[in-house]
Amino acid sequence: MRIDIVSDVVCPWCYIGKRRFERALEMRPEIDIEITWRPFQLNPDMPPEGMAREAYLAAKFGGSHHADRIYSTVKDAGAGVGIPFAFDKIRRTPNTRDAHRLIRFATEQGAADAVVDHLFRAYFLEGRDIGDPDRLAEIAGEAGLDRDEAAAWLNSPSGIEEVIGEDRNARRIGINAVPCFIVDQRYAISGAQEAEFFLPLFDLVLNGAPAEAE
């Protein structure tokens, strides 16, 4: 079964959705899954160097006080899947293009899932700047990749056009919020749904969709 996951690594609901999706897979251990992570930038117009967190919250939510109320709900949801969000540690909101390029690099080496998990953890739990190429190379090494090779990739133009193109394509086909899980290129599940939400769709694909009437 092929599943394309469209997400952004600064999206807390994408992190929650990843954990809930993993729980769904644990409920269906017989499924042979091929997962591909697809890029989506929540803030495509973010400056390459990112921006100070306070400035971002002011622009997006009107200030940190309103953001705190919104993130309180996210924290509660995260706690339910073992994610101790530490939003107070985040000092910069990054441009995520290079993080998506790193995921693409990891995909070629069969390590995309590990890198995605490390990126989420670095940003949401440790407050690291995942828009900084040096930090990204460190994260690549922590996820089991060669740090120097990752750094060379990030310091080259490799993957830039592909990431931009996939982001545009996601919007073209109607994806305007993430996470979005596309199953066998036929069915889509949008949002950080509970694990049980995936099971009927898994069963549908495993058992074969009913034939269309002629």
Type and span of the H or E element at 2: strand 2-7
Which pLDDT does position 63 carry in this prediction?
74
Cα separation, 2 vs 68, whole angstroms: 37
Which pLDDT does position 60 carry in this prediction?
87
Predicted model pTM: 0.94
Q: What is the band of 98 on the pLDDT scale with cuts at 50, 70, 90?
A: very high
Q: Which is nearest to 120 in space by CA: 168, 158, 84, 174?
A: 84
Which pLDDT does position 207 carry in this prediction?
84
Residue 191 φ/ψ region, left for φ over 0, alpha for ψ in the -120 to 50 degree band, beta for the rest? left
Domain residues of the chain, as ranges?
Answer: 2-207
Which pLDDT does position 96 carry in this prediction?
98
| Residues 2-207, CATH architecture | 3-Layer(aba) Sandwich (3.40)
Cα separation, 77 vs 64, whole angstroms: 20
Mean pLDDT over 158-165 rounds to 96
The sign of the CA dihedral 7, 71, 114, 151 is positive
Token pair of 16 as six digits: 């929650």
Cα separation, 159 vs 75, whole angstroms: 33
Which pLDDT does position 212 carry in this prediction?
41
Cα separation, 40 vs 26, whole angstroms: 26
Look at 40 and 212; give whichever has higher pLDDT: 40
Return mean pLDDT, the chain: 94
Mean pLDDT over 42-71 rounds to 89
Mean pLDDT over 43-70 rounds to 89
Q: Picking from 126-135, 181-190, 200-209, which range would have the lowest pLDDT averaged per residue? A: 200-209
pLDDT tens for 103-150 read 999 999 999 999 999 999 999 999 999 999 999 999 999 999 999 999
Cα separation, 201 vs 10, whole angstroms: 27
Mean pLDDT over 81-88 rounds to 97
Which pLDDT does position 200 carry in this prediction?
93
Q: Where are the beta strands (DSSP E) in 70-142?
A: 92-93
- Predicted confidence (pLDDT) at residue 214 exceeds the cutoff of 50: no
Which pLDDT does position 209 carry in this prediction?
56
Q: At 211, which amino acid appears? A: A
Which pLDDT does position 68 carry in this prediction?
84
